[in-house]
């Protein structure tokens, strides 16, 4: 079996979420390491759909240095190697600190477009044919960047991605759970205003074991009334109660992660019957300690329960990962690349014509070249 040699079996540096008891009852306690060394490489290019990637977390060191120089904005390191060392998160706290530090380089409309186009190049090389990308505009606004510059920059980048790479990119801005309800509601209105330029959803993200999504009910309503889907993070670290809240109170179309649902078989059934997809990011879940080891990931249980699960990279530049590695991790758990692709197509929030074009790419691909019969 080929393995990625990810430099794994690291001992985590700490910052384990406090909201853990119910999850440990499921997983039997957090192990001493977060092992990813048993990921088998599929060993072939195949089409992929990615529905959960944070654009600001795709900035590799080369792009960060370029933006830092252009905007005369110093970073914590001034070399590629130094930045690569800085941008490694082994906990959710790490991830937040890195994110806040490096996103300071994003100042102007063109910067956001460049971030999107750079990721479109990376994703296309890995076989992505459709991407739904998240961005978190409120922090940029608090730093003095005009909200329209953030939206316009990303929307321009999506247009260029289509022209230069043939990649379809749709956008889903997130409000951070630690910002105010008023800020989230203003963001929801902006998201609706940019619907014609490729914004298809609106969500919330943050430390779900600490910050409640309850104040965001109205923001989710504004987005849904404006024709957007609501796609919240829920149950990444928190339990089934938070996933249930996202389903019942926030009327989620898809749920980002949703791992906490594993505690509640009735909820799994509800999610499956409602056709709510889960955005699964296996390497992120292990790297950040949401799941002790890849072998214990609930993905196979979710699929057995009839839930559509797509695979994404979440924060690839800060988690030493990419889309292919995440898909390979899912395949190591016995899930076929074709199943993942079809779940992505079904969960995508684009228009029907685009969905049909993406589905055709999958239908035309010879999956038998890469799929052993053991995969589901």
Where b means 16+ CB within 10 Å and e means fewer, 135-163 reads bbbbbbbeeebebebbbbbbbbbbbbbee
Q: Pick from 363, 288, 274, 371: which is nearest to 330 by CA?
A: 371
- Looking at the Cβ atoms of 111 and 314, the one nearer to Zn ion is 314
- Looking at the Cβ atoms of 314 and 322, the one nearer to Zn ion is 314
Determine which helix (DSSP H) or strand (DSSP E) holds 120, and give its type and residue range. Answer: helix 109-125
- Looking at the Cβ atoms of 168 and 314, the one nearer to Zn ion is 314
Burial of 252 (0-12, 13-18, 19+ CB in 10 A): buried
Least distance between Zn ion and beta carbon 131 (Å): 14
Site for Zn ion in 296-315 (CB under 5 A): 314
Least distance between Zn ion and beta carbon 314 (Å): 5
- Looking at the Cβ atoms of 314 and 328, the one nearer to Zn ion is 314
Least distance between Zn ion and beta carbon 84 (Å): 21
Which residue's entry shows tokens 């654009």?
Answer: 55
Query: Which residues are CB-contacts of 160 (< 8 A; sequence separation ≥ 6)?
Result: 113, 116, 117, 120
Site for Zn ion in 219-238 (CB under 5 A): none
Least distance between Zn ion and beta carbon 233 (Å): 6
- DSSP H helices, 43-91, are 61-70, 80-86
Known catalytic membership, residue 236: yes
Per-residue binding string, Zn ion, 177-206, x by CB under 5 A, is: ------------------------------
Q: Pick from 171, 57, 165, 51: which is nearest to 117 by CA?
A: 165
- Looking at the Cβ atoms of 237 and 341, the one nearer to Zn ion is 237
Least distance between Zn ion and beta carbon 254 (Å): 12
Per-residue binding string, Zn ion, 310-349, x by CB under 5 A, is: ----x-----------------------------------
Q: Pick from 264, 261, 291: which is nearest to 277 by CA?
A: 261
- Looking at the Cβ atoms of 326 and 336, the one nearer to Zn ion is 326
Residue of 56, 109, 236, 263 marked catalytic: 236
Q: What are phi and psi of 218, to 5 degrees?
A: -65, -40
Least distance between Zn ion and beta carbon 281 (Å): 7
End-to-end Cα distance, the chain? 19
Which residue's entry shows tokens 């994404």?
Answer: 312
- Rg, C-alpha atoms of the chain: 19
* Count, residues near Zn ion per rule CB under 5 A: 1
Residue nearest to Zn ion (CB): 314
Q: Which residues bind Zn ion (CB under 5 A)?
A: 314
Which positions are catalytic? Answer: 236
């Amino acid at each position: 079996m080929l393995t990625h040699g990810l430099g794994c079996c690291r001992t985590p540096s700490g910052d384990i979420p406090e909201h853990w008891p119910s999850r440990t009852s499921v997983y039997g306690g957090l192990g001493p390491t977060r092992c990813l060394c048993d990921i088998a490489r599929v060993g072939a290019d195949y089409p992929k759909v990615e529905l959960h990637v944070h654009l600001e977390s795709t900035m590799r060191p080369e792009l960060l240095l370029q933006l830092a120089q252009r905007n005369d904005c110093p970073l914590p390191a001034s070399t590629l190697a130094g930045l690569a060392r800085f941008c490694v998160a082994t906990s959710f706290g790490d991830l937040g600190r890195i994110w806040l530090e490096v996103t300071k380089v994003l100042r102007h409309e063109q910067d956001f477009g460049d971030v999107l186009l750079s990721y479109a190049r990376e994703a296309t090389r890995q076989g992505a044919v459709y991407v739904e990308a998240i961005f978190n505009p409120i922090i940029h606004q608090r730093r003095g960047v005009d909200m329209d510059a953030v939206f316009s920059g990303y929307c321009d980048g999506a247009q260029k991605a289509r022209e230069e790479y043939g990649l379809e990119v749709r956008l889903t801005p997130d409000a951070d759970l630690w910002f105010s309800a008023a800020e989230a509601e203003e963001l929801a209105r902006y998201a609706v205003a940019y619907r014609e330029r490729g914004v298809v959803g609106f969500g919330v993200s943050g430390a779900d074991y600490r910050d409640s999504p309850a104040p965001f009910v109205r923001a989710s309503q504004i987005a849904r009334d404006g024709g957007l889907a609501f796609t919240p993070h829920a149950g990444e670290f928190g339990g089934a109660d938070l996933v249930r809240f996202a389903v019942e109170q926030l009327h989620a179309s898809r749920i980002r992660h949703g791992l906490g649902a594993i505690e509640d078989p009735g909820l799994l059934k509800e999610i499956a019957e409602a056709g709510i997809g889960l955005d699964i990011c296996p390497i992120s879940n292990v790297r950040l300690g949401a799941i002790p080891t890849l072998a214990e990931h609930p993905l196979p249980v979710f699929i057995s329960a009839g839930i559509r699960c797509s695979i994404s990279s979440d924060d690839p530049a800060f988690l030493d990962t990419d889309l292919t590695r995440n898909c390979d991790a899912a395949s190591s758990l016995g899930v076929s690349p074709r199943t993942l692709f079809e779940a992505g197509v079904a969960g995508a929030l684009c228009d029907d014509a685009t969905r049909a074009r993406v589905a055709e790419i999958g239908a035309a691909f010879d999956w038998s070249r890469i799929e052993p019969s053991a995969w589901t």
